[in-house]
Amino acid sequence: MTNVVFDEQGIIYLGNDISKFKVDKMIDGTNLFVYPGFYDSHMHLVSYGFYLSNLDLKDAKCFEDIYRLISIRKDVDKYRWIIARGFNDDKLAEKRMPTKSELDAICSDKPVCLTRCCGHIMVCNSKALEMAGFEHDIDEIGYKVHMDSGIVEENAIETVKAAWPIPSIKEISDYILLACSKCHEYGITACSSDDFISITSEYDEVLEAFE
């Protein structure tokens, strides 16, 4: 039988005699595989952390599930926008998209935008449409805005994203730590990350956050 001893820096001993170590926790690895940490060669760590910090709607089964999450977050000062992603209208009890007026009824004083699970369709409340600068319907190839329903499609979504608040260095740091924690759950312990213009054009602030 071989023992593996590790601390916060990594593996420090392989062998049978662990009597010289102060062991805080024993894990029985019988019939289990032990892998080294995985390395992700290309990811966007800051963006990943940013989306993890937003509302996750993938488990929503009805509008009420979505509205409950919005209601909890709307009174938290640090959330200047309520940004959510992951719902699938085909799996909601209502079998349709939420509408602008329905979102307004839940939250009218903060911008709200919900991106469908496909990433190609977003529904916004009136405040989000206003902040994005939309004033009338737009029906162009790859760029559609429906003011009545609040639905924004394809490249018009990027216009909404451009109106999102620029994160502070502290917020970027929080995104990094949140993403790292999630990566560790999957055994990813190192990565190469391209984040210079992922959620802000201020690349020097991203570098400072990583430091």
Query: Cβ distance 86 to 66 under 8 Å?
Result: no
Band (pLDDT 50/70/90 cuts) for residue 14 is: confident
179 compared with 33, residue with greater pLDDT = 179
As a whole number, mean pLDDT of residues 160-189 equals: 94
Angle (CA) 145 150 152, round 5°: 40
Average pLDDT score, the chain: 92
How far is the C-alpha of 107 from the C-alpha of 189, rounded, in Å?
Answer: 39
How far is the C-alpha of 174 from the C-alpha of 168, rounded, in Å?
Answer: 10
Structure tokens at 35: 């892998």
Query: Cβ distance 203 to 77 under 8 Å?
Result: no
pTM: 0.81
Q: Are strands 112-116 and 121-124 parallel, antiparallel or unpaired?
A: antiparallel
User: SS3 of 176, please?
Assistant: helix
Q: Are strands 38-43 and 55-56 parallel, antiparallel or unpaired?
A: unpaired
Report whether pLDDT(49) > 80: yes
